[in-house]
Structure 1
């Protein structure tokens, strides 16, 4: 699927020629030995380039009301040292100030809170990291009232940034300031008024910081679009605002959580397909062409998928997520975009200082410098009984070449265990029979495809029987369908009324949102239908279709009457 965009990728690929290398030596970007020189204060493009890649200390200093309120442990210098050791060059420290300052007119920041923010900033700088701090959830707690209460919001905003600027005035230039996280405004007439409100606040931020003196005179300032969105009208509004400020030491920031239906698993978007990739390519093209091509650096200040979380397994299938991660790294890199992954604890286990899924981080890290090969799936499903036949996968080479298949330290044999024809990898019936072993439900073996570069692609060999379900009764607040999964995994669920119309929430699609509307419980053996689903289901009969990753589909019938629900297999 990725080959659809090879022409565009080629157009954006940057090659370092001998002339370009000489130019970098002359300007000081590289030393004579080839090492990258420290960017000079005021050089926004090189500063932002030096910040790649970045990591967010999410749900921590931005948590409400305190640092540990949203489940993360207290930040330590050991954590920050670990982040640096994993290859990250910058850290974004989101900070919510709303619960940590006094009343008008001074809005004096609590000394202990400001000291704690400074401590984490100083630890980060001591580890050699670039650091970005901001006003975070303040954006929706009170800044959004700016259009209707301009004087009050501006006074509070000005007081906070005045104190923050003064506190950090003499800090090294590796500390950068971001004016507002995801700015949004209530009660406006639309895009034009939103843009005007944000420009006024960003201009005030710029005035305060630059006027505070010290290193703030040349410190990099990071300004967002409205909602940190990347649609062209928001980018154009930012560009107009940037030109009015007449300061080239500014970076733009947007956020990227992928194509929304794929990011939350709704409307049947279970796979990283051409439409999902096109959204990524179009987004990165827009910010590159609007900003980077004009010499304005861009920081993707947050990126991931919205509903990916270690506490919600299965929302995003792992292999499809890996393809997304690989593509983000590549497309950002060839467009000179700096990325800062949003990590609220779903990637790094901060208590144990280990990645919750080492394979995800291995691929992310490799994507900073090179591409990795992938495949159409990371799963091969085999029947638990009966004959096993050969199975094929399509390789996404991504500029690599296929080398071998391995199981552990053992190479599989080309010809007898597998064949490769173009981009089609076929596992033979004999090899699959051996790999399936006793054919117990679930993963029986894991093999990996190795390519000429990048991270190997793991493939799970899974034995299954078609899942089965049973009749059930319950209520709209508590309803579970007894389900025997038999080694299979749920991909998505459809809901329709008798006349074929979509049933339940998101009535523009028959496919409902994974985890928000339904949830598999593999341990207890059930399919949970959430109150949020029933809240928008009319009384009467509803047909559910459960889609599994093996390709199996199961039909189930509900009858809702008030708060009572009955379910049956026929």
Structure 2
């Protein structure tokens, strides 16, 4: 997935030859080591707390659960800080360990620090920097995965037209990595190639190239000797996708290699329309749930049930969370995604590695705190147990109407509903709410009390608590139908529409011409991409239509936009583009 400051400090010396042999011996007997790596960031050695390695590859991958990605860092282009993250520090790695993670994936892009022609030498300073971060993680007793990352689309993807050159560079890259880490403990694992992709190829050709690279990777690592002779290696499917044809091909490849220390790796970012909120995919609905269930069932059937471990090297929702933009996925729907993913992964025997792109995403690498602690609490809970949810985390009350009873459907997910609380106060069943089967109904009197002065927005937060997992928050929200106003702008600069949201939140936007055809930059669906074609600006009472969307409109043709809000309200708006000027009017 997804997107290196060139290191100017001293090189990491790493373990010496004798220390490496001692560490290898410690690893083989599976005890905690008191050895140490010397690093430039410390005047003295760092004590190594190696994990006690499991007896089988399956048990080793299971012991890696849960896992975390140091994303957009050593894989950033061209340098470590190029994509907005600070340099990784030992304090960061220590903090990740403290959160309960047992392994860390360190994606590495080598191309910017490697000669582009034979012998494809990797810069020694860059290799030392990679070693330094690996050493920090090993010192914390974490399993560590390193790989060849964005090289996949920088030069590996041209294998169809430069077969021999790509293969030679790939082998040279892994020859150097394997030599550097030859005597590292077996708690260090290698991954062949991130999201393998090949230009101008059919799926069958892509499978063939991917198999060739995986085979070359295994051969180079094994022939380097030391702990690499039996180190656990991760082999990816094409694109790291879990489509049946790709998982079947990888299974066949692993069986043919006849090496017990191989594991499969794939990624999962959810059902695409839901993951980015396009084509009306606003909810973690039955389609999204089935997509997830099917993919994990496939991993179990194809791999884990046959004794081949699976490492979900990246998972999450695309563009969520993103502190730099309005959330394109409603929070409660995202929580349902993470809850089910944890369950599906456990039942399939798959170890999961959260893709964390950095400070704007999950874990803030400056403050060393979670950007959204409640979200992390839900993710952490999903590692071991199920949590109850509901059909929504909102109860909308129209300010223009009298308050009436409102119902939600509970999803216990194998737990037992225990009741409703507001803070430390338990609501009274029968008076404040009723439960019939899985239908939870809050009474008009309770909602009247909770709504208070009925100011727009969230008036009260109550919790549905279950016998296990984290509580489900329900936000009692007062709203009225949003009001949009006329606006003008340019296609190149975008159109900012003055908007009174009046307590509501935007779900999606539908865009059509008068003849019913789709209007906008996403032509295959009238429901345009959230933050791609349109974006709410809640703090400034605005709603933005992006240049990408406006430039795609037909000149002189009026587009009718229907904005769908989470309360169920809709607002119709009309936009016309003429010679680069754009006007918007209330329908």
Same fold (TM over 0.5): yes
Match of 1:514 in 2: 530
| 1:214 correspondence with 2:229 | no
Q: Equivalences for 1:406-555 in 2 at 5 Å?
A: 406-477=421-492, 478-539=494-555, 540-555=557-572
- The equivalent residue for 1:248 is 260
CA deviation after TM superposition for structure 1 residue 103, in Å: 4.4
Q: Are the equivalent residues in 1 in contact too, given 2:398–2:480 (CA < 8 A)?
A: yes
Conserved in 1, the CA contact under 8 Å of 2:234 and 2:265?
A: yes
CA-to-partner distance for each residue in 1:348-394, whole Å, 9 max, x for gaps? 11111111111111111111111000000001111234421111110
**2:396 and 2:370 mapped to 1: Cα distance?**
28
Give ranges in structure 1 of 5+ residues lacking alignment: 1-27, 30-36
Residue in 2 aligned with 1:17? none
Query: Aligned to 2:368, which of 353, 361, 367?
Result: 353
CA displacement 1:117-172 (0-9 Å, x = unmatched):
10110110111110000000000000111121112112211111111101101111
Unpaired runs of 5+ residues, structure 2, are 1-28, 31-50
Q: For residue 313 of structure 1, report the CA deviation from its aligned partner.
A: 2.4
CA contact (8 A) 2:326 2:536 kept: no
Partners in 2 of 1:557 and 1:440 — Cα distance? Answer: 30
Q: Secondary structure at the match of 1:334?
A: helix
Work out whether residues 182 and 226 of structure 2, in 8 Å CA contact, stay in contact via their aligned partners in 1. yes
Give the distance between the partners of 1:359 and 1:40, measured in 2 at CA: 33
State the Cα RMSD in Å: 1.4
Aligned partner of 2:292 among 280, 296, 299: 280
Whole-angstrom distance in 1 between the partners of 2:285 and 2:115: 50
Distance 1:233 1:428 in 2: 52
Contact persistence 1:148–1:187 (CA under 8 A): no
Corresponding residue of 2:356: 343
TM alignment of 1:283-302, pairs within 5 A: 283-302=295-314
**Are the equivalent residues in 2 in contact too, given 1:436–1:462 (CA < 8 A)?**
yes
User: Residue 476 of structure 1: CA displacement?
Assistant: 1.1
3-state DSSP of counterpart to 2:512: strand
- 1:311 corresponds in structure 2 to 324
1:157 is paired with a residue whose SS is: helix
Aligned pair partner of 2:64 in 51, 59, 84? 51
- Is contact 1:389–1:428 with CA below 8 Å preserved after alignment? yes
User: Alpha-carbon deviation of 1:569?
Assistant: 0.8
SS in 1 for 2:548: helix
- Secondary structure at the aligned position of 2:348 is classed as coil
Give, in whole Å, the separation in 1 of the partners of 2:439 and 2:326: 29
Instruction: Report the Cα distance in structure 2 between the residues aligned to 1:63 and 1:283, rounded to whole angstroms.
Output: 29
Q: Is the 8 A contact 2:326 2:531 kept in 1?
A: no
2:175 to 153, 162, 167: 162
TM-score, normalisation: structure 2: 0.89
Distance (whole Å) between structure 2 residues aligned to residue 243 and residue 414 of structure 1:
58
2:326–2:537 CA contact under 8 A, matched in 1: no
Q: CA deviation at 1:307?
A: 2.4
Provide, for residues 242-277 of structure 1, a one-character-per-residue CA deviation record: whole Å limited to 9, x for no partner: 122111210101110010000010111111111100
Note the alpha carbon deviations across 1:514-555, whole angstroms, 9 max, x for none: 001100111221111111112322121111000011111000
Query: Aligned equivalents of 2:353 and 2:325: distance in 1?
Result: 22
Q: Partner residue of 2:5?
A: none
Task: Give SS of 1:222's match.
Answer: strand
Segments of 4+ in structure 1 off by > 4 A? none
CA distance in 2, matches of 1:440, 1:240: 61
